[in-house]
Amino acid sequence: MIPARGVDGARVALLGLGRSGLAAARSLRAGGADPLCWDDNPDARTRAEAEGFACTDLRRDGAFDEVAFLLLSPGIPHLYPAPNPVVTAALAAGVPVDNDIGLFFRSFATADWDGFDTTPRIVAVTGSNGKSTTSALIHHILTCAHRPAQLAGNIGRGVLDIEPAVDGEVVVLELSSYQTELARALTPDIAVFTNLSPDHLDRHGGMGGYFAAKRRLFSEGGPDRAVIGVDEPEGRFLAGQMAEGPADDRVIRVSVAGKLTGPGWSVVARKGFLVEMRKGRQAASIDLRPITGLPGVHNHQNACCAYATCRALGLAPRVIEAGFRSYPGLPHRSQIVAQAGGVLYVNDSKATNVDSAAKALSAFPNIRWICGGLEKEGGLAGLAAATGSVLKAYVIGREAAGFAVQLNVPTEICGTMDEAVARAMSEAAPGDTVLLAPAAASFDQYDNFEQRGDDFTARVRQRLDR
């Protein structure tokens, strides 16, 4: 656990008692603060009280008297589409609002570091798609290279739940826009921006607000190095803002869409080959095609971002390549769950939006595509150009019929995962891929995308075992 710093004797209000909220409460208590906790869910309050935390209704009059600041869990809106009433009350009382990410960055460094040979470093990864894989891949490469490392944030452990840093350690954080938009302190040593596509637009008041939330990691934090995907206009704009000129190697540009020119530092993947360029010359090259844990162009972009980050941390190309080859992949992200009778079965339940689903569809041939769920804002038009390899779509979800009519491929309305898996497997031939890439949220039928992916995997394996 990371004890909170600068809070000794302070009263700190805390709204939201999920994983990150409880970790924050423990951190505050360890730092000498008096946390005043609240969650609308009585079960969450019961769990907090079982750990000895005082729960007080932050909606009552006078709740923010003598409170130093409000710590807000990431899922709770503070501005759009409408601020939570507790946030409104805090701001009306002049009480600052922060989150666990801000508290972490204020608390991570300690006096113990003065005795370290190598100062610990923080890598923070954000973007619309690929940030989980990129974060996990960086952590995996560091571990394989015998560098002390921890993985936290939007993946794995909460940021305040990790262990205090040891000499030379690297902490890799996956940060969502919900986390970067509010943190009052953001000071990573290396910041990574994978890509940008429409998502969470209601929460951010539109695409501009969404990009602004991601951009704060760079503009507020002033990282020593910035790894930036430049295949979208926003990425190119961000890279231009961070660089002093074309040759500024504090910015490493990443692309899978085309060749990057100029005297700067870049990492590009084309036709399955990753190429590092520095000062106009090729510095290294890796063949990504045989690496099973990183299939498809979208994973090649993740590999480029991870490669650039690890190079900035001083790792040699051959060490990074060895990490690539042993990387097993993340569950629910282009995860190969079975291969039988010449048919490949892939779980990409994390493909919850159009852009991530399109990338999954581009990674495999002869696809029997299981899709559908709670459709997100913007519709499915963006999938049209990515369905060239789709033989047939098997649509699930409560609104399967409405989802199916938007697709430009042969479709069958299945409704449930069980029926979709059964139909896809019965029609699959050698050389086909049965792919779950929903292009939708899971909440109409499942608690989360992990549960949806686990259901797909279980039903595939049950039928193969018959």
Helix, strand, or coil (residue 347):
strand
In 39-126 the beta strands, taken as DSSP E runs, fall at 54-55, 67-72, 97-98, 121-126
Say how far apart CA 1 and CA 23 lie, in whole Å.
Answer: 8
Residue 133 assigned ligand-binding role: yes
Residue 132 assigned ligand-binding role: yes
Residue 131 assigned ligand-binding role: yes
User: For 276, which DSSP code?
Assistant: E
Which strand (E) or helix (H) includes residue 418? helix 417-427
Say how far apart CA 402 and CA 153 lie, in whole Å.
Answer: 35
Say how far apart CA 169 and CA 174 lie, in whole Å.
Answer: 16
Work out whether strand 251-255 and strand 265-270 pair parallel, antiparallel, or are unpaired: parallel
Which of 456, 30, 376, 461 minimizes the C-alpha distance to 203? 376
The string of DSSP letters for 235-272 reads: HHHHHHHH-SSTT-TTEEEEESSS---SSSEEEEEETT
Strand partners, 281: 278
Say how far apart CA 277 and CA 285 lie, in whole Å.
Answer: 9
Residue 235 assigned ligand-binding role: no
Which of 1, 158, 8 minimizes the C-alpha distance to 68? 8
The string of DSSP letters for 177-199 reads: HHHHTT-S----SEEEE------
Binding residue numbers: 127-133
Annotated binding site for ATP: 127-133
